[in-house]
Structure 1
Amino acid sequence: MIIDSSYDELKNAQTAIENLKATTPTIYRKFLNIVHLTRQLQYGYQYMGSLLMDEDPDRFQPKFQDDYVLSIYHQEIEKLKKDKRFPELKQLLQSYKHISYTNISKLALGEKPAALIGPAVVH
């Protein structure tokens, strides 16, 4: 999938992430933990976002993954979704999914919006 994000869109998403961190630090920290886990397992952020948003993750599903590791990952995603503050994170993801779950994740990890401007292939 090809996306093209403007600086303004990315800056708005960064501001929303910072607001989430300030107003609901617990759900922000849990989200950041999932982002780190996704990165460590080398799964795609689009896969993570699809699971969090109850979208069809099939086209982003990791190939050649151990079933046990994948099941643990799914359990961690479900724990986050069961948090009573999860709807606030879900609203953020829904509002900015057009810039991709990949860019949202990178912004949460501290990347600057300027580094993410322009067309990109996300998978």
Structure 2
Amino acid sequence: MLTTSSYDQLKSAQIAIGKLNSTKPSIYRKFINIIKLTRQLQFGYQYMGSLIMDEDPGKFNPMSQDDYVLSVYYREIENLKTDKKFLDLKQLLKTHNQLSYANISKLALGENPEALVGPTLVR
């Protein structure tokens, strides 16, 4: 699937992420930790986003992974979802879902919106 992101959309998402960080730092920190875990395990950001948003992650499943590693990953996702401030993160992701979970994750990690402008292949 191909998505296209404009600078204005990316900048808006970056501002929303910054606002989440300043107003709800605990859920922001948990989200960053999940993003880093996803990257470390070499899972796709779309897979992560699908799990967080209760969407079907089927086409984004990791190719092969140890059952224990997956169970730890799922546990961390559930830990994020049971946080009392999770609805704020979920709203942010829902509002900016047209950008792709990959772009939202990269913005959260501090990537410049200008570097993310244009078409993105979502795998």
Task: State TM-score, norm by structure 2.
Answer: 0.99
SS in 2 for 1:64: coil
Distance in 2 (CA, whole Å) between partners of 1:44 and 1:78 is: 17
Shift of 1:67: 1.1
Q: Residue 58 of structure 2 corresponds to which residue in structure 1? A: 58
What aligned pairs does 1:1-123 form with structure 2 within 5 A after superposition?
Answer: 1-123=1-123
Number of aligned positions between the proteins: 123
Percent identity between the aligned chains? 65
Distance in 2 (CA, whole Å) between partners of 1:30 and 1:64 is: 25
SS in 1 for 2:96: helix
Distance in 2 (CA, whole Å) between partners of 1:58 and 1:71 is: 16
Paired AA for residue 45 in structure 2: Y
Shift of 1:122: 1.5
**Where does the alignment leave 5 or more consecutive residues of structure 1 unmatched?**
none
Distance in 2 (CA, whole Å) between partners of 1:115 and 1:29 is: 23
Paired AA for residue 44 in structure 1: G
Deviating above 4 A after TM superposition, structure 1's stretches of 4 or more consecutive aligned residues are none
Paired AA for residue 80 in structure 2: L
Paired AA for residue 92 in structure 1: L
Task: Provide, for residues 32-87 of structure 1, a one-character-per-residue CA deviation record: whole Å limited to 9, x for no partner.
Answer: 00000000000000000000000000110101111110111000000000000000
Task: State TM-score, norm by structure 1.
Answer: 0.99
